[in-house]
Amino acid sequence: MSGKLTFTMIKPDAVANGNTGKIIDHIIGKGFKMVAMKYTRLSAEKAGEFYAVHRERPFFKDLVDFMISGPIVAAVLEKDNAVSDFRDVIGATDPSKAEAGTIRNLYAKSIDANAIHGSDSDENAAIEASFFFNAFERF
Ligand code: CMP
């Protein structure tokens, strides 16, 4: 049985474009409960740590520069089968390949500015959530 929690970040493009509210509504409408949420800004150091798994990829510097370009919204979401169901809700990493009606299809412009992040495993969901929230901040 998969876990009940996943982690998400609404990225700087979606926040800057005024899509935060619509995206939160979309997520709740798909049956996810927000158990923690924070409007914040990443430092270069923190963005680099968050995406450390991509450190050797050619897009790493652009990814970090983009993620620190403006505020983000970090959240922990609860639902049965949370990680996999949420990845279905956000759609493919490249918005041109994201299915109609997914968050990236609706709100993302490019593979870099792709509106939203979703954890890819239960293990990473726990690691990523702990980046932004301690146990007492979760409800
Ligand atoms: P995200 O799911 O947040 O995880 C890593 C991010 O790197 C990804 O979304 C994309 O926004 C970004 N990225 C940029 N170029 C690529 C690429 N070629 N492949 C995968 N991710 C990429």
Give the pLDDT score at 111. Answer: 97
Confidence of residue 137 (pLDDT cuts 50, 70, 90): low
From atom 5 of ligand 1, which residue's Cα is the shortest distance away?
51
Instruction: Say how far apart CA 107 and CA 95 lie, in whole Å.
Output: 9
Ligand 1 site, residue 120, Cβ cutoff 6 A: no
Mutate to test the pocket of ligand 1, among 6, 59, 65, 110 (most ligand atoms within 8 A of CB): 59
Instruction: Say how far apart CA 117 and CA 112 lie, in whole Å.
Output: 11
Ligand 1 atom index nearest CA of 120: 2
Ligand 1 site, residue 59, Cβ cutoff 6 A: yes
Tell me the domains of the chain and their CATH numbers: 5-132 (3.30.70.141)
| Long-range pairs of 104-110 with CB within 8 A, sequence gap ≥ 24 | 106/26, 107/14, 107/17, 107/19, 107/22, 107/23, 108/13, 108/14, 109/13
Kindly give, in sequence order, each residue whose CB lies less than 8 Å from that of residue 45, ignoring residues fewer than 6 positions away. none
Give the pLDDT score at 2. Answer: 81
Give the pLDDT score at 139. Answer: 58
Residue pLDDT, tens place only, 73-129:
999 999 999 999 999 999 999 999 999 999 999 999 999 999 999 999 999 999 999
For residue 2, the tally of other CB atoms under 10 A from its CB is 13
Of the candidates 131, 7, 128, 10, the residue with the CA atom closest to the CA atom of residue 71: 10
Give the pLDDT score at 100. Answer: 98
Q: Which residue has the tokens 């609404």?
A: 10
Amino acid residing at 54: H
Instruction: Say how far apart CA 138 and CA 34 lie, in whole Å.
Output: 9
3-state secondary structure (DSSP) of residue 119: coil
Ligand 1 site, residue 93, Cβ cutoff 6 A: yes
Ligand 1 site, residue 112, Cβ cutoff 6 A: yes
